[in-house]
Chain A
Amino acid sequence: DQQVKQNSPSLSVQEGRISILNCDYTNSMFDYFLWYKKYPAEGPTFLISISSIKDKNEDGRFTVFLNKSAKHLSLHIVPSQPGDSAVYFCAASALQGAQKLVFGQGTRLTINP
């Protein structure tokens, strides 16, 4: 049962353009969402998060949008840079309970010069 889904395994974007990574979830108990970035042979690195009481959170070039009614969130990176090439994981948790994160399968982003 895949509660968090990233339906695009890969995405290729031109340097300087906007990268949009998408994530859908099924569990309505999720109320906190995070994006992690992962380079090969390294552990995931926290990028940005959003609580379910908000619909947008921005941090520099990164913005996360949350659409609760559609159970959908997206990560926008603008402008995209070559160093952004990595695998991006969407994750979700419920504030109640052990707050363990449920991860999507990841999207491999490639930024082309």
Chain B
Amino acid sequence: NAGVMQNPRHLVRRRGQEARLRCSPMKGHSHVYWYRQLPEEGLKFMVYLQKENIIDESGMPKERFSAEFPKEGPSILRIQQVVRGDSAAYFCASPRTGNMNTEAFFGQGTRLTVV
């Protein structure tokens, strides 16, 4: 999973600030999935993007959260006006093909702490 780059690894934000999480998938991959892991829980699907398109955002909270995957550059998960409940580990995954049934490579995650 070293090929999927996420940054920053750790992010501390005060309540009300904005958090921007970045994910660069494996070279040549054009699909990105974002997952969130709350403490002591499994990973929960948030959003699936291809370059310049949101394919499935059914797991995204309706407010404050947005994601993009521009033609150039990394995918960005943006959380506006963060609250304590947003504290979690956020992982992006880069599957070999367009679906997660093939081996998918996860990044090391961004650990967001809201204080």
Contacts and interface: CB of A to CB of B under 8 A. Distances in A.
Contacts of A91: 100
A100 B108 contact: no
A43 B108 contact: yes
Interface residues of B, number: 28
Interface stretch (B13-21, B36-44, B67-75, B76-84): B36-44
Interface string B81-107: 000000000010100001111011111
Interface residues of A, number: 25
A20 B64 CA distance: 41
Contact of B101 (A6, A41, A89, A99): A99
Contacts, number: 69
A43 B100 contact: no
Contact of B99 (A46, A99, A104): A99
Nearest to A103: B42
A85 interface: no
A103 B44 contact: yes
B42 A43 contact: no
Interface of A: 4, 6, 32, 34, 36, 41-46, 49, 89, 91, 93, 95, 98-106
9 contacts: A42-B1, A43-B91, A44-B91, A89-B43, A98-B48, A102-B45, A103-B43, A105-B42, A106-B41
Q: Which 9 A-B pairs have the closest CB atoms?
A: A43-B106, A99-B99, A103-B42, A98-B56, A103-B43, A100-B45, A105-B42, A101-B100, A46-B103
